[in-house]
Structure formats: C-alpha cells, structure tokens
Amino acid sequence: MAKKEIIGLTYEGDRLRLARIRTTKAGVELLEVDTIHLPQPILSKREVGADQQDFSNEYDEIFETESSSTSELSDLDDLENFGLDEEGPASADGSELENNFDMTRADDDAETAADNEQMLAQYVGKYSSSKLRIGLHIPFGKTTFQFFKNVDPSKMKKKDRIEFFEEKLRPIFGRDVIEEHYSWIKVGENDCLLAYNPNDFELLNLVELAETYSKKKLLVMDRQPDEGIWAGLVRSNYELKPDEITGLIAIGDKNSRVMFMKGGEIISVLPIISEGEDDESILNTIFSKILFEIDKGEIPKITRILLIRSAKLSEKAKKHFQKQFEDVEVDFFTLHNEKVSYADEILNSPNILQPYNTAIGAAWAASDSDSKAFTGFTLLPEYVLEKQRVLKIEWHGIAILILIALTPLFINNFYFEKAAELNQLEQEISSLNAQIDELTPIATMTEDLIADFQVINAENNRLLDLAEYSQKWSEVMRILNEGVYEIPNIWLTTLRTNDNNINLTGISLTREQIPVLATLFTDANINQVSETEIRGQQVYSFSMQANNFRQDIDEFLLDLPEYDFESELNGAEFPVDFSMDAEVQPSPGVQTESIQPDQAEAALPSESEPEPAPTVDVEEVEARVDLAQQEEAAAVIEEEISAEDEETVQEELAQNSSEPASALDRGNTNSSPYGLTGTEDELLYGAYTIVLHSIPSGTRARWERSRLADEGYKTTLWQATLEDGTLTWRIGVGQFETVDDALAAISDLPEPYHSNHFIIRIR
C-alpha cells in the first residue's frame, strides 16, 4: 500500500488545530501537529442544537451542586437564537458560496472571511504535494443524536429508510430533511443510532474557499462529528471487551460533552453541557451528570473514563475524577504505540496531544487505514463527492478514447466469428433432424410398450397387495375357530386388529376357561375380567390382547421371482423356481400344518420374507378386579420394570421356555425365592404373582406397596397399559412357579384381597 499523507483539521473559535499523518503497514505515523490562529473566529450559524438543551439546573437540584450565573445567561441567549437557521446549509449549486466569495463587497465579514481563507491557503502552501487530502470534523454539540430501539435500517429498502428518517426528524426540526445531512450506524443486533447535522458547513466552506487562493488541490476525503471520531480513536487504540463500559469526557472552551461506549458501540450521548474550561464548576457538573445517568439505570458499572479532549484542565480533571471514581480507571486518552508512531518524541505525551486528538482522528478516518474502527457517521455533502469523482476519472480520458477507436475493429472481428459458428450449428441441426425422423417410429413403439408394461405392473402390484396376508388371516381364523370350538361355554363378541396385535372381547360361563383361550397364542395378555349377569345367568366378560400375532403363524406365501429383462431380450429362457424354502420347525405352544407341494403351488406369491415363529409359550391368568376398591388403595414403588427390562425378559424366556422350572431353580441358592410372604430377594421374571391393586396414582401405589411389604408379603410393582390406552400401577404379592401354586396361596389372603384379585405373570 502506497504511503499517503492526510491532514486533519478541527476548529474552535479562532483556532485551527492541524494534525498531519502518514499511513504505514502497522498503522499511521504522526508527522506534525500545529495550531493556526486565524484573524477572526469561525462563527457557526447555529450555536445550540436540538440535543444541546441545558439541564444543569435539574442536575444541580438533584445532586446539590453549584452552577454559575454565566451558564444560566448563556442558556437564555441560546433560547433567543434557537430556530434562526431555517434557511439550511449552503446549496450545492454554490449560490451561497458565491455570496461569501463576493470580492466587491466592502463589509467587514467578507474581509474577515478572506483573511481566514488566505491564511489557511498560505499555511498549506508550504507542503510539497500538489494534492492535499483533508479530513474535517463537526464540532461536538452541533450534531443531534437519536437512538431507535428495535429498528434496523439495513433491512429496509432505500426508499423506506429515507421516509422513516424524514418522519422522525421533520417534526423535531420543522424543516425538510436532506439525505446527506444525516447518517446512521447499527447498534447491537436490532437498534440504530442516528446523527443529524443540517447547518454546520463553516469549516468545509473555509477549505473550499482557501483552495481558490492556493495552487494546490484540497481534497476533502471525510467529514465526521467529533463524537464519531472519538469512538473510532478508542476502537483503534484500546482492546475493548464486549461488557466493558467506557466513558469519554471532552471539555472545550465553552461547551463540554460526555458519552459512553459498551465494548466498541456507542450506547449513550449525553446532552451538551453549556460550560467549558473557563467555568469553575465544570468538573462538578460533569460528575453530577454521570451520577444522574448511573442512578437512572441507563449506564451499568463504568470500567474506565478517558479524557479525550481538554487543554487547560487536563491534569486537574484527571485528579478530580480519580478522586470521585475510586474504583474506575481514569486516564487521558493515549495513542497505542504499536499503531501510531511519532516523528517527534515531544509528541509522545497524552497531555500535549489532548487538544489535537480530534484532528488526529479526523485525519485517521480520512486515510481509510482502519475503516472498521472509523466506519459510521460520514456527513460529506454529495456535491463534494461528485467534484472529487470528476478529478479521479480525468486520467482515464485518453484510455477511453483509444478504446472507442478500437471498438469497430473488435466488433467486426466478433461478427465474422459468430457468423461462422452460426453456420456450423445450422448444419448440425439439419443432421439431427434427419436422425430424429428415422427414430420417431421406434420411439412411438417404445412408448406404447412402456405404457402397457406400466398397466400390467400396476395390476400385478394390486394382486400382490390383495393376496399378501390372505393365507395368514385364514390361519388366524382357523386357530380361533378350532380353539373356541374345543373350549365349551365361551363366546367371542368382537375382534379388532391394531398393527400386529389382535384385541378380543368375549363372554365365558366360568373364569377358568378364559386362560385356556389365551393359550391359543404364544404371547397374549388378559386385560380385564369382570363378572356380570345375562338373562339371570352369572357370566364373565373379558378382554384379551394377542401381541405380535404375525409371529404366531408360519409364512405360507412364496417369494416372487425376479425376472431378468435383459436375458429375455436376448432370447434366453428364465427359470422360475416355485419351490418352498426349508420347512420351519414348529415351536412349543404353536399349532402348524404341513404344506403339501400342490398347496405350495396354489399359494399366492409374496415379496415378504418368512417371519420366524416365536419359541415362547406365555400364559396369563386374570381374575375379576374391583376397580372401585383398587382406587382407594395407595402403594409405593421402589422398583420399576422398564421397557428395556421387558425386552431382556422376552429374550430370556425365548431361550429357557423349553425348561422354565429348571431355569428358575438355577436362580435359587439356599432357600426358594417362591412364596407369598418373606423378603423379595430377587424379582423372578416369568413367575406368577397375585395382583391386589391397580392404581392410576404412582404416589399412592408406592405407599400401598410399602404397607404390604411391612405386613410380610413379597411385593412386586410395575406399570401397565390398559385397553383404552390409560396407564395404571399394578401391585402384586408373592412369587409362584405355577398358576396352581398361586391359586393355592389365595386362601391365605385376608379380606378384601381374598375375593378381589387376579393372577398374572411377571414380565
């Protein structure tokens, strides 16, 4: 990157502060700082902005500080002069500029302005460069700042953004709003800060008029308010953590400003303080305003306070605020020695550089060497940018003329190349059209064959869907018909399916016949048994669920052969194998039929693989349960049988179903774990228990289980799902190897358990 020299200019009254820097790879090099005393002060048309209202009296009343009478008089003067700037800034056409530069006028103002412009032109004439890049500032207090919560202008269209800011600014200032008079930055995730300055063009006009007295080109590269320049200086020279609060204090001759930053973002700009270094109470006033913001809760705990601008009160202000804020780091703003180098060792002093910090920041912002830090409130008029754009493109003129002269040659050559390419493409298109005409009959025939194949394939799929489980359901109904036929005095009333499960309800004359029906399936649960009366006869209504019934029946469907269409096209014969797979050995408790070859050939094909028959014969015996008495009981659960435990049990039962008694005996050591009373040393999955309670409440169930355990019973508790989908907690006593053992132990139970219970296998 080429080294560039940039000049930063700031003013206050009749003094111009100048700082000249040079860009380097590490940052910037400070070459010179100087003060230019002008013959007459640069007067601003607007001395008080919309955010410059003085609330010193309110602060004085709250914090009991003294305010000088001079500040009150200055406030009255500001109110009298407020609103005199309705005519706005200098227009871009230069009409006001020409009035100011009227050399025929003999009034004192023209002579004074000419003296200021000639002095500035004479001063910059000492530099050797023919073009001087300049960064300007807008004095603090001349710019209005507004925070907008939950507003992100970057997400708006340009037209909507302009209308939004005009609606916010026009009611405050009572005038039309020009886009180049305001600028905004995004704060946080969804907020923005708006800076508005419509009038302060005195320094810009001074530089432009000084150019007419000078032989050099004065290029204004940037123009920002002091508040934005200070924030950029802090970002460039300090490592700011996101949660740190940094306060910036600037004390001028007549006005002062306080602002706060959180991390690298501006979060608060306090109203301008109409007191300066000439007022004795300025330090107390600043202190009171900071305390007022803290008391309001607007500012959290302050991490550091930096004196960004002062002249006479530098050391005094530092000591004063160090005394007032003992737990806060108070210091002068200091340039980072790794980012800013000094041509003169005398400049390496924060105290000496205090009046020139703003000028240094203005030059730094105009250099674009740290654009991220100084990105923000650029308020440079459009006519200045347009003028400098013309200067930038002047050297392109000759190149543009040469390109214009060469354009016909390039166009002619390009035309002949494209014409030859077009002719070649036309020949290729003619050849392709001839080939298409030859292949069109074949393509039509192929489309007809594809359509026929799709129709046949759809019909085939429909047949497969209809025949997929036809024999399986035939086997289910055969098992039910033969089984119910062999069990006397039992009737089935409903049969419903749910995925792989079958739900049965029916009526039996005796309770003992219901478990016999459950033995028709390898895994069946008796959900409910209740006693009722039909035509004067005492009967038992029951509901039962057969789990995973598809595994209870052997597969009878054949595998559909896969055809090799490529071999058929070649004229080869495709062998179709309709033979059955190896016969599946029946498991205990499962009724099967042997399949004859002629039956296998008549069976419908199926693409599904045969499912292995289960090897577990699980019996459940359920008795009538008095639900009204169960809900009055309560039990305490100490052990819950999870779904993972149930899967483990099913695997163990599948391995040991052939010899369940011996498997259970191997779990015993010294004494048998079976019985109605005693301590439950081990929960025996597959054993039977007597269920005394079925309670929806888990707390009551745990309490009731604890009470039964205190009475000496072996207690078991688990959670079950009823037919209607509700969850209940079942409490059982005793562990028995067979159903007969459980029935024999019922006589030892007291009332009401002697008659209200049912027997179920532990899973």
* pLDDT tens digits, one per residue of 653-663: 444 443 333 33
Q: Which of 218-222, 549-553, 628-632, 710-714 has the lowest mean pLDDT?
A: 628-632
Please give the pLDDT value at position 248.
93
648 half-sphere exposure, CB direction, 13 A CA radius: 7
Residue 421 identity (one-letter amino acid): E
Q: Which of 110-114, 376-380, 564-568, 754-758 has the lowest mean pLDDT?
A: 564-568
Confidence of residue 173 (pLDDT cuts 50, 70, 90): confident
Structure token digits, residue 111 = 């002579």
Please give the pLDDT value at position 573.
46
Q: Is 487 helix (H, G, I), strand (E, B) or coil?
A: coil
Confidence of residue 75 (pLDDT cuts 50, 70, 90): very low
Give the whole-angstrom CA distance, residue 248 versus residue 356: 15
In this predicted model, what pLDDT tens digit does every residue of 610-648 receive, in sequence order?
333 333 333 333 333 333 333 333 333 333 333 444 444
Q: Is 380 helix (H, G, I), strand (E, B) or coil?
A: coil
Helix 314-324 crosses helix 282-296 at what angle (to 10 degrees)? 40
> Given a cut of 80, is residue 31 above it in pLDDT?
yes
In this predicted model, what pLDDT tens digit does every residue of 94-122 receive, in sequence order?
333 334 434 334 444 445 556 888 899 99
Please give the pLDDT value at position 737.
85
Please give the pLDDT value at position 395.
63
Give the whole-angstrom CA distance, residue 508 versus residue 480: 15
Mean pLDDT of 82-105: 37
Confidence of residue 601 (pLDDT cuts 50, 70, 90): very low
Q: What percent of the chain has pLDDT over 90?
A: 23
Give the whole-angstrom CA distance, residue 318 versus residue 325: 11
What does each C-alpha distance from 554 to 548, 593, 601, 603, 609 come to in angstroms?
Answer: 13, 9, 16, 13, 11
| Residue 246 backbone dihedrals phi, psi, to 5 degrees | -115, 125
Q: Which of 179-183, 618-622, 742-746 has the lowest mean pLDDT?
A: 618-622
Give the whole-angstrom CA distance, residue 738 versus residue 622: 14
Torsion, Cα of 67, 73, 74, 79 (10° steps): 120
* 166 Rama class: left (phi>0) / alpha (psi -120 to 50) / beta: alpha
> Given a cut of 80, is residue 299 above it in pLDDT?
yes
Structure token digits, residue 636 = 């305490």
Please give the pLDDT value at position 111.
54
Contact 255, 272 (CB under 8 A): yes
What angle (nearest 5°) sits at the alpha carbon of residue 447, between those of residues 446 and 450?
A: 85
Contact 735, 687 (CB under 8 A): yes
> Given a cut of 60, is residue 337 above it in pLDDT?
yes
Mean pLDDT score of the chain: 75
Contact 332, 322 (CB under 8 A): no
Helices (H) and strands (E) in the chain, counts: 22, 24
Q: Which residues of 335-346 are buried (b: 16+ CB within 10 A; e: fewer)?
A: beeeebbbeeee
Give the whole-angstrom CA distance, residue 209 versus residue 118: 9
Q: What is the pTM of this model?
A: 0.47
Please give the pLDDT value at position 90.
36
Residue, of 609 and 300, whose pLDDT is higher: 300
Mean pLDDT of 385-392: 67
Torsion, Cα of 541, 545, 549, 553 (10° steps): -30
Please give the pLDDT value at position 620.
36
> Given a cut of 90, is residue 58 above it in pLDDT?
no
Concatenating the DSSP letter of every residue in 417-443 gives HHHHHHHHHHHHHHHHHHHHHHHHHHH
Q: What percent of the chain has pLDDT over 70?
A: 73
Confidence of residue 552 (pLDDT cuts 50, 70, 90): low
